[in-house]
Structure 1
Amino acid sequence: MLDQRGLTQSMSRKANCHDNAAMESFFGTLESEFFRLNRFENLDALKAGIKHYIHYYNHKRIKPKLKGLSPVMYRTQPSAA
């Protein structure tokens, strides 16, 4: 099924659960902050909502671990030399 859609399966290294930790964390946040709080009329509404949430997550949602900045703001700030 993946080959039919031109996709490559992600395979973790043996006994290394940390490979997917970042994505598992994101999907958990997406589920709790977005999916469980909304209802969707159809698949197009769900897709649009996810696209909007990903933009919010990357550009506006502040994270204490990133010095109170969004991921994009953190990665684009000038480094202190």
Structure 2
Amino acid sequence: MNFVYFLLIGIVAGWAAGQIMKGGGFGLIGDLVVGVLGAVVGGFIFDMLEISPDGLIGSLVTALVGAVVLLAIVRAIKKA
């Protein structure tokens, strides 16, 4: 069941990151990938900053921050 929550958080974080970054997103699968990878990136960033979010909201914030950072990097590479 935790895997399902992880996927749902990834979808929501990927979609929200696409909205924050003023993009149309990458579709359901693309948003899932961005959100899941964003969760990993966000976890790494928060670990470096020694921030330990807890619970569903903390997981969503972590994934969202990571997804926004990931989208910024992907868009910067696409423009280059």
When normalised by structure 1's length, the TM-score is 0.31
Higher relative contact order (CA 8 A, sep 6+): 2
When normalised by structure 2's length, the TM-score is 0.31
More helix by share: 2
